[in-house]
Structure formats: C-alpha cells, structure tokens
Amino acid sequence: MTRKRQYGEVANLLQGVVNVLEHFHKYMGIPQIRQLSERVKAAQSELGTQILADFDEAFPSQGSKRTGGPSNVLRDACLVANVLDPRIKQEIIKKFIRQHLSEYLVLFQENQDVAWLDKIDRRYAWIKRQLLDYEEKYGRMFPEEWCMTERIAVEFCHITKVELAKVMRTRAKEIEVKLLLFAIQRTTNFEGLLAKRFTGCTLTDIPGQKRPDSPLEPTNPFLEDEPGEDVGTEKDEDLAKPRKPKAPDNPFHGIVSKCFEPHLYVYIESQDK
C-alpha cells in the first residue's frame, strides 16, 4: 500500500497496528514481538520519508505552485502523517507555509517602494488574497485540526513584524507622527480582523502576549466605578477581568504591532511640542 501510495487505507490500518502494539509494550523482551515492533517502526519511517518526498515534489521550493493532480493523494498522506512521528507533520506544515509565503518576502523586500509604512495596507491586502487562494485550492487537502489557514496568517505576522522592524530601523529619520499612527491603526485593525476569523489555537508557543495589556486596564478611570473596593480585587482577578475589554481579548493583539513600540517616542515628542 505504501508503494502504491494508497494512503487512505494505510492511515486506518496503521492507527490500528500502533494501538495493538501498545498492548504488547511490556513484552518487548520476547524476540518475535520485538521484531514485529521493529518492522512497524521501519514501515513508519519509510512512510514518513516517502510522504515528505511527495510533498517536496508537489510543492517545489522554487518555481510555480502546482495544483490539482496529487492533492487527493496528499490529503490522505496528511492522515497518515497524523499517525506518524509528529516531526513529519511539523515538517510538512513548515515547508508548505514557507513555500506559500516565499513570494511575500520578494515582493516586500526592504528596498522595494511597497515595503515602507505608507503602503502598509498592501501587505495586509496581499495576505487576505493569499488566504482566500489557499482556502480555494488547498483548503480540503489538510486536516481541519491542523488549522493551516491560521498557521499561514500567524507566520505572515511574524515575518511582517521582523520586516517592518528592519525597515523602520533603517529609515528611522523618515518616520513622522501621522505616518506612524496610520501604520499602527492599520495594523491593529488587521489584528482585530484575525481575531474575528481565527481562534488563536496555534499561538500556544507565545503565551506572554496577553500580559502587557493587563496592567493598563485598571488605570482606565472609566473602568473603576468604586476604587475603594475594586483595586484590591483587580489584582486577584487579573486574568479574569481584562477579558472584557477588547484589546486583551484578542489573542493576536501585538503580534505585528509590537514592532512599533521602539518608535513611539516620535509620537510622544510631537505631543510634548
């Protein structure tokens, strides 16, 4: 089945085989059982290598995106990857996303006109088109629980944060208040849009992002009706309370806009003037 690439059947059978083997885990001292276990491991390793090769062939790192043909085979291959070593799944996801966003890095290179803050809208328009394109072409290929659309969006955000920080460092003298505020507004709007569309389930590796906002909430006079009573409880319910105002409720808050923080002095200086 592996040789014929009948991944649909392989996925069902392999899960069963792995489950049965677990029952024999205590008996690995018996040569026959150990041999069987090794044969299963060999089959899994062969499958992993073959599936990664299939994805490499279907989505070469350079050149055009090939669509159509292998997508059903690849859809079943993803189901097999769910049963294999998690690294196989991670590798598939990483390669696919990198390939899907490779054009972005070229289009919005630091030296390009569109890379500057006044054209920041174009970045967000580009990713919206990409995500629609992805859903249309590859939406059914990856299992839903892989949250691929969200992963692509999140990786886009990480890249954008780094790229914007670079271009702002290089051209710091050109940043003026209106431009900075325009870029921040457009970026936070985009982060808000992400929150409406996605759950943030793939963000578990960045838990620190919600915290910077919490201390800001209690200092807002409109949120403190009875300072005497509230101030004490505010600290105890630090995690529960900030859920109600909008900003901390958005798991994507700051995912790109954090890159503007080092340049906020531009705004502060203008306020001082």
Q: What pLDDT score does 230 carry?
A: 44
Judge if pTM exceeds 0.75.
yes
φ, ψ of residue 144 to 5 degrees: the values are -60, -40
Give me the long-range contacts of 146-150 (CB less than 8 A, separation at least 24).
Answer: 146/78, 146/89, 146/93, 147/198, 147/199, 147/201, 147/202, 148/93, 148/96, 148/97, 149/198, 150/198, 150/199, 150/200, 150/201, 150/202
Q: What pLDDT score does 245 carry?
A: 41
Q: Band the pLDDT of 19: cuts 50, 70, 90.
A: very high
Q: Using one digit for the tens of pLDDT, what is the confidence trace for 47-60?
A: 999 999 999 888 87
Is the confidence at residue 221, as pLDDT, over 80?
A: no
pLDDT-above-90 percentage for the chain: 60
Q: Can you say how many angstroms the Cα of residue 259 is from the centroid of all Cα atoms in its chain? A: 18
Scanning the chain, the segments in alpha helix (DSSP H) are 7-23, 31-58, 71-83, 86-107, 120-138, 148-170, 177-197, 227-236, 246-249, 265-272
Q: What pLDDT score does 38 carry?
A: 94
